[in-house]
């Protein structure tokens, strides 16, 4: 019997979570698996943030919060956007949610309906097309391969736009590729968008602070489109706070109000204690953010160096986030005994079961020729993982 709604039946399960689960199952059997499938920093939340949360509990900060979050947190975000991004917002233009994931979903749900198209450059974060499908919309992907550093061009964007285009979801720095759009590249996209005033840009900047090229550039900086850009960000990745569940949007008031209305019927405001922690993250010392960024940069250099040495891997140099996305279709069609590798999912499963390294096949990210490896792990794990991967791949003939 399948009593589930069409909406649920058309939804794909998260492949990243599935690989993490499979890897945990093998670990539970006593197998020493190196998990490169997870999308979270391996650091602990900085002490001053934890202290703020402890104080919030002792101060009985335990009631329902306003739906978009407490004014103190929203004001802290307004200050952050001014200071770090040079962007002017009011607190009424900020809405906080249970993580950036809910923030993206709120905007999609608020804007997209049946027949609406949402442009999603591929490779993309696994959840974007699924969110669009949940909203009854149609995801329209633009392929951007490794030869263009996984970034779309203005001409590709122009060609994908139709009268039905409602939104573009742009993720920079990108999960899964680590690619980062430069100011000039964003300006090129903004110039196209300026000609199409019906399109809202959902700019997912959750990896803003994990950036190896210096300053983060937001597409919201271009005045000709500023009033229809919704920035999505949060504390999860920059402050090692994935479990605290605080994300936010900053955008035009009409969209923010719509998201508040939706959230008011759906989840209400996010966790009050986590809001105090997030406020401390934005207003306190930023030193731990830079420390973590430096560690990620060192690991990026290490994994790129090692992965470039793996026969059959084509490797881009990620400029942000903590993922490597090698092209590995060289191995499709090869076998080890009676085990044949037909696609990236097979390869990821082979690397897990034979090499004991968990990666994620690229199909879920709209790039079936690649696999994703997270390097949010120790240098030793990175070195050992690539050694195991090389050994396992060498058995494929």
Strands of the sheet containing 138-143, edge to edge, are 94-97, 247-250, 229-234, 200-204, 165-171, 117-122, 138-143
Residues 173-192 contacting ligand PLP, CB under 6 A: 175
d(CA 77, CA 82): 9
Say whether residue 277 binds ligand PLP (CB under 6 A).
no
The residue among 130 and 396 lying less far from ligand PLP, judged by its C-beta, is: 130
Residue 178 has, within 13 A of its CA and on its CB side, a CA count of 30
The residue among 120 and 146 lying less far from ligand PLP, judged by its C-beta, is: 120
Which residues, in sequence order, are CB contacts of 273 under 8 Å at separation 6+? Answer: 53, 56, 57, 61, 62
Selected from 33, 76, 100, 249, the binder of ligand PLP by CB under 6 A is 100
Please tell me the count of residues contacting ligand PLP according to CB under 6 A: 13
Q: Measured at CB, which residue is nearest to ligand PLP?
A: 99
Tally Cβ neighbours within 10 Å of residue 173: 27
Q: By CB neighbour count within 10 A (0-12 exposed, 13-18 middle, 19+ buried), where does 213 fall?
A: exposed
Secondary structure (DSSP) of 226-280:
GGGEEEEEESTTTTT-TTT--EEEE--HHHHHHHHHHHHHHT-SPPHHHHHHHHH
Selected from 74, 80, 101, 151, the binder of ligand PLP by CB under 6 A is 101
**Shortest separation between residue 243's beta carbon and ligand PLP, angstroms:** 9
The residue among 100 and 109 lying less far from ligand PLP, judged by its C-beta, is: 100
d(CA 275, CA 56): 9
Tokens describing residue 201: 């840009």
Measure CA of the first residue to CA of the last residue in the chain; give whole Å: 43
The residue among 246 and 256 lying less far from ligand PLP, judged by its C-beta, is: 246
The 125-144 site mask, x for binding ligand PLP (CB under 6 A), equals x-------------------
**Shortest separation between residue 83's beta carbon and ligand PLP, angstroms:** 21
Helix 127-134 and helix 100-111: axis angle, to 10°?
A: 40
**Shortest separation between residue 37's beta carbon and ligand PLP, angstroms:** 12
**Shortest separation between residue 320's beta carbon and ligand PLP, angstroms:** 11
Say whether residue 85 binds ligand PLP (CB under 6 A).
no
The residue among 212 and 331 lying less far from ligand PLP, judged by its C-beta, is: 212
Say whether residue 242 binds ligand PLP (CB under 6 A).
yes
Task: Choose among 356, 360, 376: nearest CA to 368.
Answer: 360
Q: How far is CA 209 from CA 10, 212, 242, 371, in A?
A: 34, 9, 14, 24
Selected from 41, 68, 69, 99, the binder of ligand PLP by CB under 6 A is 99
Selected from 53, 108, 206, 278, the binder of ligand PLP by CB under 6 A is 206
> Which of 28-36, 93-101, 192-200, 292-300 is the region at the interface with ligand PLP (rule: CB under 6 A)?
93-101
Residue 350 has, within 13 A of its CA and on its CB side, a CA count of 25
Say whether residue 236 binds ligand PLP (CB under 6 A).
yes
The residue among 205 and 369 lying less far from ligand PLP, judged by its C-beta, is: 205
The residue among 355 and 366 lying less far from ligand PLP, judged by its C-beta, is: 366
Q: Which residues bind ligand PLP (CB under 6 A)?
A: 39, 99-101, 125, 171, 175, 204, 206, 234, 236, 242, 247
């Amino acid at each position: 019997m399948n009593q589930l709604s069409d909406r649920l039946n058309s939804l794909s399960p998260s492949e990243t979570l599935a690989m993490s689960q499979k890897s945990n199952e093998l670990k539970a059997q006593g197998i020493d698996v190196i998990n490169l499938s997870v999308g979270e920093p391996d650091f602990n939340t900085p002490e001053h943030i934890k202290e703020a949360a402890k104080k919030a509990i002792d101060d009985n900060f335990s009631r329902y919060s306003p739906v978009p979050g407490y004014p103190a947190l929203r004001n802290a975000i307004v200050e952050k956007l001014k200071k770090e991004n040079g962007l002017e917002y009011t607190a009424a233009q900020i809405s906080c949610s249970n993580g950036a994931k809910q923030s993206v979903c709120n905007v999609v749900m608020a804007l997209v309906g049946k027949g609406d198209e949402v442009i999603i450059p591929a490779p993309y974060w696994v959840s974007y097309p699924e969110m669009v499908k949940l909203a009854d919309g149609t995801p329209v992907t633009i392929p951007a391969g490794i030869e263009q550093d996984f970034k779309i061009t203005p001409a590709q964007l122009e060609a994908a736009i139709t009268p039905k285009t409602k939104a573009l979801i742009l993720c920079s720095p990108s999960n899964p590729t680590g690619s980062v759009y430069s100011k000039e590249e964003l300006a090129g996209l903004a110039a196209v968008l300026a000609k199409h005033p019906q399109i809202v840009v959902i700019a997912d900047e959750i990896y803003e602070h994990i950036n190896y090229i210096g300053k983060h550039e937001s597409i919201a900086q271009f005045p000709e489109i500023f009033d229809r850009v919704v920035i999505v960000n949060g504390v999860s990745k920059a402050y090692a706070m994935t479990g605290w569940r605080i994300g936010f949007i900053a955008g035009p008031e009409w969209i923010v109000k719509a998201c508040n209305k939706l959230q008011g019927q759906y989840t209400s405001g996010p966790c009050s204690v986590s809001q105090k922690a997030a406020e401390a993250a934005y207003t306190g010392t930023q030193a731990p953010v830079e420390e973590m960024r430096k560690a990620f940069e060192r690991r990026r250099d290490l994994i790129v160096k090692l992965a470039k040495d793996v026969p059959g891997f084509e490797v881009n140099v990620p400029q942000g986030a903590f993922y490597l996305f090698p092209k590995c279709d060289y191995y499709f069609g090869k076998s080890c005994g009676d085990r044949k590798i037909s696609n990236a999912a097979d390869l990821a499963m082979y690397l897990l079961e034979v090499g004991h390294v968990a990666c994620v096949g690229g199909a879920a990210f709209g790039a079936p020729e690649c696999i994703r490896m997270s390097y949010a792990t120790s240098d030793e794990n990175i070195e050992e993982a690539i050694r195991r991967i090389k050994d396992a791949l060498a058995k494929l003939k």
